[in-house]
Amino acid sequence: MKTVSVTEFRGNIKKYLDIAESEKLVIHRSKGRSFVVVPLDEEDDNSLLSKEQKAAIDEALEDVAKGRVQSHQDVMDETKKRFPHLFNR
C-alpha cells in the first residue's frame, strides 16, 4: 500500500493510477480525511450501492414480478399533485 499527499497525487495522477492498478493507494489530506484509490471492475459495480439501495432495488424488482406497477402517466399525475412547483417553470 502506498500513501501520497493530495498535492503529489494531483501532480502525477497517471503515475498513481497506474500504481493503483496493482496495490491500494491512500491519498492523505493534511487537514482532512484520507481516501483509498482502487480499480473499479465491472463486477464490482454493485459494491458502490449501500445495503438500503440494494434492498430498494430488490423490492422494486419483486413488485414488477408480482405485477404491482403503475403506468408512467399515473406516476406523473401523482408527482404533479405532490410537487406542483416542479412543473410550473
Q: Which residues pair with 26 in a beta bridge?
A: 3, 36
Give a yes or no: residue 71 inside a domain: yes
Could you report the per-residue pLDDT of 45-83, keeping only the tens digit for each? 666 788 899 999 999 999 999 999 999 999 999 999 999
Structural domain boundaries, residue 34: 2-38
Could you report the per-residue pLDDT of 26-49, keeping only the tens digit for each? 999 988 899 999 887 755 666 678
Domain check: are 59 and 33 in the same one? no
pLDDT score, position 43: 54
- Quote the CA–CA distance of 49 and 54 in Å, as a whole number: 6
CB 2 within 8 A of CB 21: no
Give a yes or no: residue 17 inside a domain: yes
- Quote the CA–CA distance of 86 and 80 in Å, as a whole number: 8
